[in-house]
């Protein structure tokens, strides 16, 4: 099992689980977390093999086995809570959660999204950044809310868009930065009190006016106005 004690996680995935892999690597390098389980809505998700190779419990709650979102959410929540996590990490989980499960997990579930939120919620973010001619791209980690990719943003990583970039090169350049952002943000939760109060994030009881930003050394920093 990928475990160093400390913050207990459940990670939700739908595909390759590369952010899960980054957390496993960080855990084995000394990050004080315990990955209690990896849960997928897709039986063939490659990330489940990664989890199994590291002795992490794996569960499949296939959305196709349920008549609707409410039944799926109920089964997923029961599976999550069986592991008693302090934090639920949506890492490439490609299902929109319903209001009941979101409310139940409020303040202890986070999601990573490949854009500088609030810009470009939803899908095809790399293509949309290029089409808009944006000079900058990045990824965000936010608390999960009822609104798609709309919860308060905790942290971000930024990178320039190059003249020769395509959607594929943008995605490839961003992915390792996503991994670093994920690890740094989970580390933040493991070492500090991170709370959501009335859609405002508080770190160690102090409000966070704007998201923390990942620096070149992989550390989350407050911006100058914080």
Handedness of CA 80, 82, 83, 87 (dihedral sign): positive
Residue written as tokens 């490609």?
94
Calpha distance 108→143 (Å, rounded): 8
Structure tokens at 87: 């934090």
Active site residue 126: no
Output the DSSP codes for 161-212: PPTT--HHHHHHHHHHHHHHHHHHHHHHHHHS-EEEETTEEEETTEE-SS-E
Q: Which is nearest to 118 in space by CA: 11, 211, 53, 30?
A: 211
- The active-site residue, picked from 104, 113, 126, 192, is 113
For the annotated catalytic residues, the residue numbers are 113
């Amino acid at each position: 099992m990928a475990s160093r004690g400390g913050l207990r996680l459940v990670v939700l995935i739908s595909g390759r689980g590369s952010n899960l892999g980054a957390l496993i690597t960080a855990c084995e390098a000394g990050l004080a977390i315990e990955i209690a389980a990896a849960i997928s809505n897709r039986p063939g998700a490659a990330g489940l093999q990664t989890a199994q190779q590291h002795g992490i419990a794996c569960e499949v709650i296939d959305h196709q086995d349920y008549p609707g979102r409410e039944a799926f959410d109920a089964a997923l929540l029961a599976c999550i809570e069986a592991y008693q996590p302090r934090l639920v990490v949506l890492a490439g989980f490609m299902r929109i959660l319903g209001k009941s499960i979101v409310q139940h997990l409020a303040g202890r579930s986070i999601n990573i999204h490949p854009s500088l939120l609030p810009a470009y919620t939803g899908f095809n973010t790399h293509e949309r950044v290029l089409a808009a001619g944006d000079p900058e791209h990045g990824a965000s980690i936010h608390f999960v809310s009822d609104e798609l990719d709309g919860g308060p943003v905790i942290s971000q990583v930024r990178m320039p868009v190059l003249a020769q970039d395509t959607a594929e090169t943008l995605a490839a350049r961003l992915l390792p930065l996503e991994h670093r952002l994920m690890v740094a943000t989970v580390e933040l939760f493991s070492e500090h009190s991170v709370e959501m109060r009335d859609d405002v994030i508080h770190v160690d009881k102090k409000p966070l006016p704007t998201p923390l930003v990942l620096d070149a050394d992989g550390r989350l920093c407050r911006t100058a106005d914080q």
